[in-house]
Chain A
Amino acid sequence: MSATEVDPATTNSPEAAMASRARFAALVQRQGAFAIFVLVMVVASFSFDSFLSRGNLTGIAVQASFLAMLALGMTFVIMTGGIDLSVGSVFALGGVLAAWGSQHGTLVAFALPLGVCGLIGLVQGLVIARGGLPPFIVTLAGLLFARGLLLLLTDEGAKTYKVPAGSSFRKLAQSDLLGVPYPVLLVVLFFAIGALVLHRTSYGASVLAIGGQEDAAELMGLPVQRTKVLTYVASALLAGFGGIMIASYTSSGVTILGVGLELEAIAAVVLGGTLLTGGAGTILGSLIGVLLLQVIKNVINQVGSLDSDWQAVVSGSILLGVVTLQRWLTRAERT
């Protein structure tokens, strides 16, 4: 593939070339989604007058906020080299529990979903970390379990719990501060905390170390199992919180939500430059991945003649394109 004619005496130039290529690879991996995001934003703002309007941008941000919660947890999970397929179901379950709970008070609306979702995350984490079962299968079962529980609670999906009209719970997602909706503020807050946790706590370091090389992390004496369990708990909690937000936003517990959302979250994280093999990635990248997906949705909606289904096609293609590019470049880096 690469024409590397190496004269052992003068390895400098090809090495330098390789280094610059590696740097470019890292750049694409880290900033590729950002570049596409900016590009789409620029094109969209020239193409549609209404695109940059306050209302539209706020809409995009609010719509993206739910997925963002899932993507944040997923980022941590993927960084440890795992995957969490259960978040879509857990998200929906959280929403239904929150809507049901809000009938018994706002506190219950928060505590109940977080408790149940946290428990699901804990079980998944324990089975993965201690039982050594593959995350893919465990969280796949978690997906089925959470959705089954959800259907059980809602009379096979027939019953929709409403948030009482006067409930303060509605404020969570329906109010704003200085014009910025609460969900958006919450996402910013959570991502800031997430970045802080990743970069400023020993837990964060363990996450990166485990993803980089699990054996190495263990040899360095890091608490591998505990870190993994915590990560799956965090992912489930964040998904549950996303559910709480959507319950407040729609004032009801909608049961059909969240199907396939785990895959969108994974797509956003991978787009944001986190390698599925773990060990590399950024919190901010995932946020950009989420925004990119949402902006694409928005743009396709704006093009009246285009079917909204283009959104899925474009998202899928971008995901594959970015992954292929990542792969080619990292391969160049290795050889």
Chain B
Amino acid sequence: MTSTTTTTPARGTGDPVLETVGVTKTFGGVHALRGVDFQLAPGEIHALVGENGAGKSTLIKVLTGVYAPDAGEVRYAGETRHFRGPSDAQDVGISTIYQEVNLVPLLSVARNIFLGREPRNRFGLIDVRSMNQQARELMRELTIELDVSKELGRLGLGAQQMVALARAMSVESRVVIMDEPTSSLEAKEVTTLFTVARRLRDRGVGLVFVSHRLDELWELCDRVTILRDGRWVHTGPLAEMSRLELVSSMLGRDVEEVASEGATEFGESHRRSEEPAMVVSGIEVRNRLHGIDLTVRPGEVVGLAGLLGSGRSETVKAIYGAMHTDAGEVTVSGKKVRANSVRRALSAGIALLSEDRKAEGIIPDLSVRDNIALAVLPRMSRAGVVSEGKIDALVETFMRRLQIKASSPQQKVRELSGGNQQKVLIARWLCTEPTVFLLDEPTRGIDVGAKSEVQSLIDELAQQGLAVVLISSEMDELVEGADRIVVLHDGSAQSELDSRNLSSSELLRALAGDRSTDSPRGGQTGGPTDSPTDSKGEAS
């Protein structure tokens, strides 16, 4: 795959300081990266973008020596390198700044900057005075105002990121990799961070910048490399690219392409009644969600779209009581659900299929049977003793209905394929006989066959009158599966697509944040939810 087809912009020229050639990395047979070529020039800020599973994190870990590539090679300053660990990469001059600050909160700013390379006095002990002095000079150079003797943990996150940058500076790195450095920063802190990043660029440092906030890319970066499904897709100057183009190549859709009918197993739109099954109004989660409203009717599939970090998963978690909300109200079939309690949400008839199957879904060492019956155990037992007969009947019904392929109901769930694990979890929730089913990426990471089965199951469930909220990063799935799509952006509902304008191209535009095609909000969120979002008397 030769990829050096970019036109030469002002920045990003010169021999690359860091590059990968045909890097491939697999995890247990799954390709995380396939033959990726990537080049970082000195004195440029290079954006690296892609949706979940695109391979960004893996590529960064290969660049920083955390993973060794299975095939292909990493070149630094023109030489092939085999990093044996992150310290190797650091030693040659590659620094990394992570989303969560990876520094030691108990040590002072100066200590953190020089951790591992502290100036010593003649007794071999750390020379605090000269260390602080050097740290102060460094801060002055970067025009960061900070007391370097202060404990790092007492600083704000933004300031901690600056310290991480200063640390990168102090090792005189030629490459700085920033992995979502802004995701937990306030706007002001972001500005300062960018100023410092630009200063580093002007000194000839090559920076890799990963962010899911698209605006930031154009503000800061010179070039962009797009990955999708572990493959290299595009590299080029950002200035020559529109948001729509960027998003469409991230998602793998052509801007001009008309939605191909029948790419999924979803059928036609569903019959829906007018009484809402669930009304969500004014959900607030600090720094994450800002006044989310959502109405779902029985038999309706409402899609929840948005790019990475837009708050999709957070929204369903907040509805389900699994994420602490600061304000907002959820009613199911007209009855208010007490906030912040999973058990209340469950008994009110809400079910959530989590995105992270492994961490939040399956109990790996339990059998298929026990996993399915987990949420309804009390209902399956008398006086605390489980009725095996009832469970067997229930499990058998669902295993047949969802066509779960397991050697027996007793098989451990961790031995199943991803698709069958997902069906086990869907069965777990269907046992609870929910009124509203929140599905967070129900088809991610499962094979094609299982995928279409799950899709037609969702269809079937909606037809039977279940209210469904569907989150998916696959556009086809949303466009064909949902009756309406609410598009989230930075934690609030930005636009909504319904039968009148439900198409891939419209969705793409909405995702890219192209406001010109916005259908007016308000009237469409419908239902009796027009009440203002001031229900803050919620917290006990």
Residues of A within 8 A of B (CB): 1-8, 11, 196, 199-202, 205, 208-209, 212-213, 215-222, 279-280, 335
Stretch in contact with the other chain, from B111-119, B219-227, B463-471: B111-119
Of the candidates A8, A208, A220, the one whose C-beta lies within 8 Å of that of B86 is A220
Of the candidates B87, B98, B107, the one whose C-beta lies within 8 Å of that of A221 is B87
10 A-B interface contacts by CB (under 8 A): A2-B539, A5-B326, A205-B111, A205-B116, A209-B115, A215-B102, A220-B103, A221-B91, A222-B116, A280-B106
Q: A6-B286, A221-B91, A221-B116 are in contact. Are A209 and B104 (CB under 8 A)?
A: yes
Cβ of A208 and Cβ of B106 under 8 Å apart?
yes
Cβ of B540 and Cβ of A208 under 8 Å apart?
no
Cβ of A220 and Cβ of B106 under 8 Å apart?
no
Residues of B within 8 A of A (CB): 64, 66, 85-87, 90-91, 96, 98, 102-107, 111, 115-116, 118, 124-126, 128, 284, 286, 290, 324, 326-327, 536-540
Cβ of B115 and Cβ of A6 under 8 Å apart?
no
Cβ of B284 and Cβ of A8 under 8 Å apart?
yes
Cβ of A5 and Cβ of B104 under 8 Å apart?
no
Cβ of A216 and Cβ of B103 under 8 Å apart?
yes
Cβ of A8 and Cβ of B290 under 8 Å apart?
yes
Q: Which residue of B lies closest to A282 (CB)?
A: B106
Q: Which residue of A lies closest to B534 (CB)?
A: A7
Q: Distance in Å from the Cβ of A45 to the closest Cβ of chain B? A: 34
Which residue, B102, B118, B327, has most C-beta atoms of chain A within 10 A?
Answer: B102
Q: Distance in Å from the Cβ of A15 to the closest Cβ of chain B? A: 9
Q: A5-B326, A6-B326, A280-B106 are in contact. Are A200 and B116 (CB under 8 A)?
A: no
Q: Which residue of B lies closest to A197 (CB)?
A: B125
Known: A4-B286, A279-B106. 14 other contacts (CB 8 A): A3-B539, A3-B540, A5-B326, A6-B286, A200-B126, A202-B126, A209-B115, A219-B98, A220-B90, A220-B102, A221-B85, A221-B90, A279-B105, A280-B106
How many cross-chain pairs have Cβ atoms below 8 Å apart between A and B? 86
Give the docked Cα–Cα distance between A11 and B116 (Å): 38
Cβ of A218 and Cβ of B106 under 8 Å apart?
no
Q: Distance in Å from the Cβ of A227 to the closest Cβ of chain B? A: 11
Q: Distance in Å from the Cβ of A5 to the closest Cβ of chain B? A: 5
Cβ of A220 and Cβ of B116 under 8 Å apart?
yes
Q: Distance in Å from the Cβ of B29 to the closest Cβ of chain A? A: 25
> B103 to chain A: which residues have CB within 8 Å?
216, 220
> A205 to chain B: which residues have CB within 8 Å?
104, 107, 111, 115-116, 118
Give the docked Cα–Cα distance between A219 and B96 (Å): 9
Of the candidates A11, A200, A217, A280, the one whose C-beta lies within 8 Å of that of B125 is A200
Give the docked Cα–Cα distance between A221 and B171 (Å): 13
Give the docked Cα–Cα distance between A133 and B87 (Å): 24
Of the candidates A5, A6, A213, the one whose C-beta lies within 8 Å of that of B102 is A213
Give the docked Cα–Cα distance between A221 and B117 (Å): 11
Cβ of A11 and Cβ of B286 under 8 Å apart?
yes
Give the docked Cα–Cα distance between A208 and B105 (Å): 9
Q: A4-B326, A221-B116, A335-B324 are in contact. Are A201 and B125 (CB under 8 A)?
A: yes
> A196 to chain B: which residues have CB within 8 Å?
125
Q: A5-B539, A6-B286, A196-B125 are in contact. Are A219 and B66 (CB under 8 A)?
A: yes
Cβ of B102 and Cβ of A216 under 8 Å apart?
yes
Q: A196-B125, A205-B104 are in contact. Are A221 and B286 (CB under 8 A)?
A: no
Q: Distance in Å from the Cβ of B399 to the closest Cβ of chain A? A: 37
Q: Distance in Å from the Cβ of B132 to the closest Cβ of chain A? A: 13
Give the docked Cα–Cα distance between A205 and B131 (Å): 14
Of the candidates A5, A215, A218, the one whose C-beta lies within 8 Å of that of B327 is A5
Cβ of B284 and Cβ of A4 under 8 Å apart?
no
Q: Distance in Å from the Cβ of A198 to the closest Cβ of chain B? A: 10
Cβ of B105 and Cβ of A212 under 8 Å apart?
yes
Cβ of B128 and Cβ of A200 under 8 Å apart?
yes
Give the docked Cα–Cα distance between A152 and B257 (Å): 82
Of the candidates A4, A8, A199, A201, the one whose C-beta lies within 8 Å of that of B539 is A4
Q: Distance in Å from the Cβ of B117 to the closest Cβ of chain A? A: 8
Give the docked Cα–Cα distance between A201 and B540 (Å): 48
Which residue, A11, A196, A208, A219, has most C-beta atoms of chain B within 10 A?
Answer: A219
> B87 to chain A: which residues have CB within 8 Å?
220-222
Cβ of A212 and Cβ of B91 under 8 Å apart?
no
Q: A212-B105, A219-B66, A219-B86 are in contact. Are A202 and B284 (CB under 8 A)?
A: no
Give the docked Cα–Cα distance between A201 and B123 (Å): 11
Cβ of B126 and Cβ of A201 under 8 Å apart?
yes
Give the docked Cα–Cα distance between A298 and B333 (Å): 66
> B102 to chain A: which residues have CB within 8 Å?
213, 215-216, 219-220
Q: Distance in Å from the Cβ of A296 to the closest Cβ of chain B? A: 28
> A5 to chain B: which residues have CB within 8 Å?
326-327, 536-539
